[in-house]
Amino acid sequence: MSFFVGNWVTRIYLGAVLASAAFMVAANPALGLSLAGIFLIALTAPVSIIFAPIYLIGDGWLTGPMMIGSILAGYLLNTVLINMITGEIGRVHSRRA
């Protein structure tokens, strides 16, 4: 669990993704994809950008699970990258001390 909330950068990122997902779920589905959905796709880019056209254009039963899967994959990839970057910055600061 500390991998996902290990530092303040990943906590802020998790909060932004969860807030955007909650707002997207609470939005009126009759209006189509809301601004929160587009923001959620942008937050979890680059992985979710690959599947976004299928979600935006598609109308089948597979579009929802594909969107959820791409958002989760994008979140996990970005969390790994954030942890790698902040870990390297921590090592640089500790070498200087």
Written as tens digits, the pLDDT of the chain (97 aa) is 566 677 888 889 999 999 988 888 887 665 556 677 788 888 998 888 877 776 667 677 777 788 888 889 999 999 988 888 887 666 655 665 5
pLDDT of residue 7: 83
Name the pTM for this structure.
0.76
- In 27-62, where does DSSP find H-type helix? 35-43, 47-57
CA distances from 88 to 8, 62, 70, 82 (A): 15, 39, 27, 10
pLDDT of residue 87: 76
CA distances from 21 to 48, 61, 71, 93 (A): 13, 19, 10, 35
pLDDT of residue 63: 74
Tokens of 39: 């923001």
